[in-house]
Chain A
Amino acid sequence: MPGAERKKAMRTPYNVDTQNSCSDCTFRAERQFCNMTPPAVRGLDAIKFMAVYPKGSVLFVEGEQPRGVFIVCSGRVKLTTSSSEGKTLIVKIAEAGEVLGASGTILATPFEVSAETLEPSQINFIRREDFMAFLNTNPEACMHTAQQLSEKYHSAQREIRTLGLSQSTSEKLARLFLDWCDRNGDETPKGIRLKVLLTHEEIAQMIGTTRETITRLLSDFKRRKIIEVKGSSMFVQTAALEAMVTV
């Protein structure tokens, strides 16, 4: 982060750069929800509570009655749901700029998913009554919230496609890696480079399988030179993965 440009950011015990004021936030223009006109942002500032969470903090759990919405200002949050047999499925990794808990908060129905931080994160919270009043007086905020909900909808559809149409677990894993390459990959002479910050267990939870299966499949991908792992970086041969997917 360029120091001069990000001068409003402050360090905290979890080593997170925090933004205390939405109006002064240096990332606002890049964030779909927060990028509102100055009067609307001042309104947002007046109702938000800023907090910093360590890795592994549970923001809300599936089945809980919503107290409000959470805005991810920095860090990443995993959204999970549980099957009737108690297995965990990661439905999305939410990133900075996303609003969490909006559907339950708007409908006043229990949360459909749980949310847990994957790394130290700044999360701003808005109480339900304040959020609803904010929407009531800001068509612009309604539009931005509608876009957030639409994104969640599209993301869930993509996940349904991967889980429902893939013929095998290796195809699901190939599809997952291709999605990551599309969104966060860097092109290098050795292939697309990905930063893999999830454990084997978490990758397994993203495609509804077991940790053991992921470990076995990754070994297989390495042996076939489809991926190469160096520390937390993974170099991916996307053509080989494309050949494996049908969805």
Chain B
Amino acid sequence: MTELTERETLQHRPAGTILFNEGDQPRGIYLIHSGTIELLLRNRNGEWKRMRSAAPGEILALESVVSRRPHEYTARAASPCDLGFIEKESFLRVLDENPAIWFSVLRLLSQGVNASYASLRHVAEARA
């Protein structure tokens, strides 16, 4: 994934920073280098629900960039974070130029799908 880190813009974000809100159109992907990001859902009454935390090594917003759909959740820094940000167009260009990266992207998306199913089981059990 060196091709990706070559394109990233490094950012330091204090705890509490919102990286993106649910419903926003994706602007790019976030590589978490340090710190923890909370993935949150909010209902119409303003009540928050923490879905899960994302840790260093994870990439956020990949699924929204690939599908060109709005974010399904809000991402908020739970602690001070060091992040790498890559704009959507730049990321898609890297994929075009380096097809080998697709395999890493597919693995990351697959992990995201499996983690979502695990969260779903957890939520269903908690509410049963």
Contact, CB under 8 Å: B103 / A112: no
Q: Which residues of B contact A146 (CB under 8 A)?
A: 66, 102, 105-106, 109
Contact, CB under 8 Å: A150 / B67: yes
B1 at the interface (CB under 8 A from A): no
- The tally of residues in A whose CB lies under 8 Å from a CB in B reads 42
The dominant DSSP class at the B interface is: helix
A247 at the interface (CB under 8 A from B): yes
- The tally of residues in B whose CB lies under 8 Å from a CB in A reads 42
| Minimum Cβ distance to chain A for residue B121 (Å) | 6
Contact, CB under 8 Å: A154 / B69: yes
State which residues 17-62 of B face A: CB under 8 Å.
41-45, 47, 49, 51, 62
Contact, CB under 8 Å: B41 / A160: yes
B15 at the interface (CB under 8 A from A): no
Chain B 108-123, CB within 8 Å of chain A: the 1/0 string?
0111111011111101
A85 at the interface (CB under 8 A from B): yes
Contact, CB under 8 Å: A164 / B127: yes
Chain B 65-77, CB within 8 Å of chain A: the 1/0 string?
0110100110000
Contact, CB under 8 Å: A102 / B117: no
Q: Which residues of A contact B102 (CB under 8 A)?
A: 135, 139, 142-143, 146
Stretch at the interface among A10-18, A47-55, A103-111: A103-111
> Quick one: which of A85, A91, A109, A142 contacts B120, CB cutoff 8 A?
A91
In the docked arrangement, what's the CA distance between A208 and B128, Å?
7
Contact, CB under 8 Å: A107 / B111: yes
B82 at the interface (CB under 8 A from A): no
In the docked arrangement, what's the CA distance between A109 and B114, Å?
10
| Minimum Cβ distance to chain B for residue A158 (Å) | 7
Residue of B nearest to A81 (CB): B121
> Quick one: which of A89, A136, A247 contacts B121, CB cutoff 8 A?
A89
Contact, CB under 8 Å: A149 / B110: yes
Which A residues contact B (CB, under 8 angstroms)? 81, 83-85, 87, 89, 91, 102-104, 106-107, 109, 112-113, 135-136, 139, 142-143, 145-147, 149-154, 156-161, 163-165, 208, 245-247
5 A-B pairs within 8 Å (CB atoms) are namely A103-B114, A112-B113, A153-B116, A164-B49, A165-B47
